[in-house]
């Protein structure tokens, strides 16, 4: 499998010696452990028996040269251990143990060794090097909070959170137990390390190794592949693209950024997945005819689509303020982003915008929305959804006429309207979105609006109090047929009150509904009804089916 595999079970005494120097490569995410991770680490170490070995996990390393390794998996744990050792170093110095303190300092900061030609340097080179140097590389750095300059940044706050938790735990130990704990951490805490001289092999090892920290993701591996010196020879350009990648992830957020790659895969391949995301890009996309080459070509393409994604789905300002249909676009998009559970439709809108620009984009969005709704109400499986969206993507790629794409995307909406008339509308996953959409088309929309619906309320209660006007107005059969239809439902801007929801209609609408439906124009209409009858529900259901798909 590998050209050369190194492995071993080593104590920190061995791993934090001049035989090992670690570097966090550009493709890795920043240090991301939080207070819970730090608390678990120090808690486990303090509670375990100190006369027995303690296994801290596995490191997967990419060997660069003798004694120098890039960390493929294990960054979070290594960084946290360096912070812990820095705290031990400074705590021991505080109690008058300079010898132990100096020995611990040599673990995390290699002193110059002229005879062996080893320069003074950090045991671990990280991305947040300035904050690392202040807290860990400097003697006494862990004995007090970080400077305000570093505390104002997320990375600095994480380092300081670790320092505070570790320092507080060590401060509770007696001087003798503090000495014993330092010896235990150095001699008895062990890590398994696996190292190869090939990144691809290191990644294969990573995929079968359990990691207790923040795992390297498939997109991190793609980052490594694209900023590799083979693909971007210039060091300054590699650093620029590595920082650009991090900026894009911060711009979208971790979850959306990862989703972006699944959408790109769909845009490029226009077919359902045949393997995991990493293999799809390597085997079917990068460097293939008509697709971006690995390296700067892909990074530039990714940047373009990330910016487009941000404007379409996050800021929702792709159609500029003042432009025709800007308000309608922002209002509808806000509802789609919030309520649509699947995201394949976004690939189609991304490619349409990239191909045709802003012209006809809103018209296309309206047709794309109906495609999604039709699949939603029919319960279409993922494979069939992929078939539909890949067909749309292929049509976009095959024509220079946006109108052709819009016409080809248009579908019959009978199934959606049929779903709106169903007796069990309330229990459907799409119910809330369609109710919100009805509010959108009922509104005047003089400005972009986000309809924040907390819950759905039955006007006719699901369980009315016996002996009241509800029982005299609705037969048992009518109640069963109508209670969960859309004509009996309104949206609430506040949480439900089950007891108040069972009140008689006249009381319910004035004491309960009135201050909960004011944000929703269609729902407000219920307040004008003098009574609530079976015919009212039937009429509102039919009106809803005719109204809901109108263009905002």
Residue 442 pLDDT > 70, yes or no? yes
**Residue 338 Cα distances to 4, 144, 313, 374, 438, angstroms:** 49, 44, 10, 18, 15
Rounded Cα gap, residues 185 and 162, in angstroms: 16
Q: Residue 280 pLDDT > 90, yes or no?
A: yes
For the stretch 343-380, pLDDT in tens is 999 999 999 999 999 989 999 999 999 999 999 999 99
pLDDT at 432 over 80: yes
- Of 39 and 450, the one with more pLDDT: 39
Directed axis angle between helix 254-269 and helix 296-309, to 10°? Answer: 110
Per 3-state DSSP, what percentage of the chain is helix, strand, and coil (rounded to 5)?
Answer: 55, 10, 35
- pLDDT exceeds 60 at position 209: no
- pLDDT given for residue 254 in this prediction: 87
| pTM, two decimal places | 0.74
Whether the pLDDT of residue 498 is over 80: the answer is no
- Tell me phi and psi for residue 417, to 5 degrees: -65, -35
pLDDT band (50, 70, 90) for residue 211: very low
User: Which pLDDT score is estimated for 504?
Assistant: 87
- The structural domains of the chain, with segments of one domain joined by +, span 5-214, 217-315, 445-548
Whole-number pLDDT of residue 212:
44
280 to each of 241, 263, 271, 391, how far by Cα in Å? Answer: 22, 12, 11, 19
Per the CB < 8 A criterion, the answer to whether 297 and 330 are in contact is no
Give tens-digit pLDDT for 127-168.
889 999 999 999 999 999 999 989 988 889 999 999 999 999
Cα–Cα distance, 10 to 190 (Å, whole number): 5
**Residue 19 scores a pLDDT above 60:** yes
Q: Is the pLDDT of residue 481 over 90?
A: yes
Q: Show Cβ contacts of residue 272 under 8 Å, excluding neighbours closer than 6 positions.
A: 383, 386, 387, 390
Percent of the chain surpassing pLDDT 90: 66
Confidence of residue 2 (pLDDT cuts 50, 70, 90): very low
User: What whole-number distance in Å separates Cα of residue 482 and Cα of residue 416?
Assistant: 19
Give the CA radius of gyration of the chain: 30
Q: Which of these ranges, 207-211, 281-285, 543-547, has the smallest mean pLDDT?
A: 207-211
């Amino acid at each position: 499998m590998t050209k050369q595999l190194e492995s071993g079970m080593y104590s920190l005494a061995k791993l934090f010696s001049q035989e090992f120097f670690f570097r966090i490569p550009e493709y890795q995410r920043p240090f991301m452990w939080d207070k819970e991770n730090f608390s678990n680490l120090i808690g486990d170490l303090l509670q375990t028996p100190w006369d027995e070995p303690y296994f801290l996990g596995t490191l997967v390393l990419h060997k660069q040269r003798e004694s120098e390794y890039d960390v493929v998996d294990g960054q979070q744990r290594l960084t946290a251990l360096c912070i812990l050792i820095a705290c031990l170093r400074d705590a021991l110095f505080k109690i008058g143990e300079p010898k132990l303190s100096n020995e611990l300092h040599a673990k995390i900061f290699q002193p110059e060794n002229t005879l062996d030609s080893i320069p003074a340097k950090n045991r671990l080179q990280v991305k947040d090097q300035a904050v690392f140097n202040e807290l860990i590389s400097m003697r006494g750095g862990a004995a007090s909070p970080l400077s305000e300059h570093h505390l104002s940044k997320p990375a600095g706050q994480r380092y300081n959170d670790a320092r505070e938790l570790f320092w507080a735990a060590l401060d509770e130990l007696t001087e003798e137990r503090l000495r014993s704990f330092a010896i235990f951490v150095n001699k008895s805490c062990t890590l398994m390390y696996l190292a190869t001289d090939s990144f691809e092999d290191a990644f294969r090892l990573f995929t079968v190794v359990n990691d207790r920290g923040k795992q390297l993701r498939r997109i991190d591996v793609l980052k490594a592949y694209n900023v590799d010196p083979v693909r971007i020879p210039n060091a300054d350009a590699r650093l620029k693209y590595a920082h650009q990648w991090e900026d894009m992830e911060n711009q979208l957020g971790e979850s959306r950024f990862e989703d972006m790659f699944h959408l790109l895969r769909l845009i490029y391949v226009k077919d359902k997945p045949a393997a995991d995301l990493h293999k799809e890009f390597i085997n079917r996309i990068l460097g293939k005819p008509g697709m971006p080459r690995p390296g700067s070509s892909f990074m530039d393409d990714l940047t373009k689509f990330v910016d487009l994604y941000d404007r379409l789905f996050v800021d929702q300002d792709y159609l500029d303020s003042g432009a025709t249909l800007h308000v309608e676009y922002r209002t509808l998009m806000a509802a789609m982003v919030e309520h649509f559970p699947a995201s394949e439709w976004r690939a189609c809108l991304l490619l349409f915008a990239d191909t045709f620009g802003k012209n006809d984009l809103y018209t296309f969005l309206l047709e794309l929305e109906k495609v999604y709704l039709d699949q939603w109400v029919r319960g279409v499986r993922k494979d069939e959804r992929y078939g539909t969206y890949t067909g749309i993507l292929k049509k976009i790629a095959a024509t220079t006429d946006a109108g052709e794409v819009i016409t080809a995307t248009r579908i019959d909406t009978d199934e959606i309207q049929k779903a709106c008339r169903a007796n069990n509308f309330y229990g459907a996953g799409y119910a809330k979105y369609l109710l919100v959409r009805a509010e959108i088309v009922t509104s005047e929309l003089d400005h972009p609006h986000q309809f924040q619906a907390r819950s759905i309320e039955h006007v006719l209660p699901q369980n009315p109090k016996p002996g009241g006007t509800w029982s005299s107005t609705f037969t048992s059969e009518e109640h069963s047929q109508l209670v969960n239809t859309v004509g009996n439902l309104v949206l609430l801007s506040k949480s439900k009150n089950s007891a108040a929801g069972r009140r008689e209609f006249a009381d319910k609408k004035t004491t309960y509904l009135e201050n909960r439906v004011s944000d929703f124009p269609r729902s407000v209409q219920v307040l004008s009804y003098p009574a609530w009858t079976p015919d009212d529900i039937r009429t509102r259901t039919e009106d809803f089916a005719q109204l809901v798909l109108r263009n905002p």
